[in-house]
A and B are shown apart, each in its own frame.
Chain A
Amino acid sequence: GAVVSQHPSWVICKSGTSVKIECRSLDFQATTMFWYRQFPKQSLMLMATSNEGSKATYEQGVEKDKFLINHASLTLSTLTVTSAHPEDSSFYICSARDQTLNTEAFFGQGTRLTVV
Chain B
Amino acid sequence: AQTVTQSQPEMSVQEAETVTLSCTYDTSENNYYLFWYKQPPSRQMILVIRQEAYKQQNATENRFSVNFQKAAKSFSLKISDSQLGDTAMYFCAFLSSGTYKYIFGTGTRLKVLA
Which residues on A are within 8 Å of B, measured CB to CB?
32, 34, 38, 41-44, 46, 49, 91, 93, 95, 97, 99, 104-105, 107, 109-110, 112
Contact = CB atoms under 8 A, between A and B. Distances in A.
Interface of B: 33, 35, 37, 42-45, 50, 91, 95, 100-102, 104-107, 109
Contact of B104 (A41, A44, A99, A109): A44
Contacts of A49: 101
Nearest to A59: B101
B105 to A, nearest CB: 7
A104 B104 contact: no
Given A34-B101, A104-B35, 10 more contacts: A38-B43, A43-B105, A44-B91, A44-B104, A93-B45, A95-B102, A109-B42, A109-B43, A109-B44, A110-B45
B101 to A, nearest CB: 6
Ranked 5 nearest A-B pairs via Cβ = A107-B45, A43-B104, A109-B44, A110-B43, A44-B104
Q: Which of A34, A49, A97, A107 has most B Cβ within 10 Å? A: A107
Contacts of A46: 101-102
Contacts of A93: 43, 45
Nearest to A4: B45
A43 B107 contact: yes
Contacts of A112: 43
Given A44-B91, A104-B35, A104-B95, A110 B104 contact: no
B105 A34 contact: no
A104 B50 contact: yes
Nearest to B44: A109
Contacts of A41: 109
B91 A105 contact: no
Nearest to B109: A41
